[in-house]
Amino acid sequence: MKYLDSNSLFQTIDNVSEAILFNLDINNEEKLQIADFIVNQQGKPNAYAGTFAPTGVDLKQDLILFTGDTIKSRVGKCHMIGEEASRVLRKLDLQNDKVNIALAKADKGLNNQINKYLKNSRYEFGMYCCKSCSCGLWINLASGGLNNNTAMLKAGLDFLKRHRDNNGRWKGFPYYYTLYVLSEIESDIALNEMEYAAKSIKRRLGKSKSDENKYDIRRNYIGEQILNKLSSN
């Protein structure tokens, strides 16, 4: 298998996400095997809120997000894997009953967990738990997850806007992963934050970056995607 890593859910997610970013082909047979692997992780120990459980290998190490940002906490890893796995299942676009049922269950579990958080005045609609976890929620929403709740995604981006540092970044947010999330949002609701980050992206593109480091390659490509989107608007 080219993209499936049966020892690691997050490596599988990373592999598929790379194929999506660079428009690489995944044949239908492997798509089905990837989907089966993800769906079979649902409800296993450490599955977050009815989503998809990390493997033992995943739990033994820090979780490195698609852009190289790191999640160290156990609960953070489980949550991010649940959100990202949901997104990947949707992006595979298989439209079979087994996948649809699993995604509906994951959406229900995540919504229930979000509603519990919203009872605490520290949290607000559109964000979830912490700033990294909020990004995980938004990338899932961007794929049509959590019942395609556009209002929640818009509220999340309003929350992000309030944390601008006036230097092209956002206070407390993982910079490159946040750009990745913005690049995944197909509607124009992310344009304001992309425009805000544009000068920062231009400063960083290609500077002291390795052509062999996959995270540098991804970061540059995502930055270029955002700048191209802005130039076409």
Q: What is the pLDDT of residue 117?
A: 87
> What is the number of structural domains in the chain?
1
**Under 8 Å CB-to-CB from 136, ≥6 apart: which residues?**
79, 80, 83, 84, 128
Residue 58: CB atoms within 10 A of its CB come to: 22
Q: What is the pLDDT of residue 22?
A: 97
The yes-or-no verdict on residue 181 having pLDDT over 60 is yes
The yes-or-no verdict on residue 202 having pLDDT over 90 is yes
Q: What is the pLDDT of residue 169?
A: 97
CATH number at residue 29: 1.50.10.20
The yes-or-no verdict on residue 206 having pLDDT over 80 is no
The reply to whether 17 falls in a domain is: yes
Q: What is the pLDDT of residue 207?
A: 66
The reply to whether 2 falls in a domain is: no
The pTM of this model reads 0.95
The reply to whether 3 falls in a domain is: no
The yes-or-no verdict on residue 208 having pLDDT over 80 is no
Task: Please state the rounded mean pLDDT for residues 215-226.
Answer: 95
Residue 18: CB atoms within 10 A of its CB come to: 15
Higher-scoring residue by pLDDT: 33, 212: 33
* Boundaries of domain holding 224: 9-231
**pLDDT bracket for residue 216 (50, 70, 90):** very high
- CA distances from residue 114 to 41, 83, 102 in whole angstroms, order as listed: 21, 13, 18
The reply to whether 184 falls in a domain is: yes
The yes-or-no verdict on residue 155 having pLDDT over 80 is yes
The reply to whether 4 falls in a domain is: no
The yes-or-no verdict on residue 212 having pLDDT over 80 is no
The reply to whether 25 falls in a domain is: yes
- pLDDT, one tens digit per residue, over 10-26 is 999 999 999 999 999 99
The reply to whether 1 falls in a domain is: no
Q: What is the pLDDT of residue 121?
A: 80
At position 1, the amino acid (one-letter code) is M
- pLDDT, one tens digit per residue, over 42-85 is 999 999 999 999 999 999 999 999 999 999 899 999 999 999 99
- pLDDT, one tens digit per residue, over 81-112 is 999 999 999 999 998 999 999 999 999 999 99
Q: What is the pLDDT of residue 209?
A: 59
How crowded is the C-beta side of 218, counted as CA atoms within 13 Å?
A: 22
Q: What is the pLDDT of residue 122?
A: 80
The reply to whether 33 falls in a domain is: yes
